[in-house]
Amino acid sequence: MSGKERGLFRNILKNFIASFKPTQHKLIGEDYYGTKYYEIENPRTRRKNSTRYFVPVNEDDNMQELPIEWESWLRYRRKDPPSEEEIRQNYQLQMIKKRNAAELEAKHVSNGLQKQKQINEGERIPFPIYEEYKNYGQDYKIKYDEQKHKKDK
């Protein structure tokens, strides 16, 4: 019984001394914004997951945008951090989408300016005419016939 107690006190003392030692922060990677991602592996605890965190370039900016691949790594949705190739491909895809969105926005704005110009000049803007609504009220067919309804009763 006394052997287990000494082992217990030894473990407590060893953990107490180890708590004063600095932990090892391992740099895992960096994204294209310049944010650095770290991992702390702590074999002394029973937690199976290591601690993951990031250090932003601008520490005052609380609303910093994180790439989705790094965010999924931080939240333990993926086991391994993203590779450089994956980061590069996702960044290129993001830039293509931004360029296409800017082109669509410019096209939409120019189209909107033309419509606004037509309105200001007093021109009539073409409105779609559908066949089923062309002769409203004239081609109306009664679905409910009162005479048939009275005979059925």
pLDDT value of residue 72: 94
What is the distance between the alpha carbons of residues 153 and 151, in angstroms, rounded to a whole number?
5
Pick the range with the lowest mean pLDDT from 70-84, 91-105, 123-137. Answer: 123-137
- pLDDT value of residue 95: 94
DSSP annotation of 88 reads H
Catalogue the E-assigned strands of the chain.
Answer: 25-30, 36-40, 51-55
Question: What are the backbone dihedrals phi and psi of residue 55, each rounded to the nearest 5 degrees, phi first?
Answer: -120, 110
Query: Given this model, what pLDDT does residue 2 score?
Result: 52
Instruction: Indicate whether 62 pLDDT > 90.
Output: no
pLDDT over 90 percentage in the chain: 27
Q: Which of 18-32, 43-57, 95-109, 121-135 is predicted least confidently?
A: 121-135
Tokens 């001394």 belong to residue: 17
- Which segment of 10-14, 19-23, 146-150 scores lowest on mean pLDDT? 146-150
Q: Give the count of beta carbons closer than 10 Å to the beta carbon of residue 111.
A: 10
The amino acid sitting at 35 is T
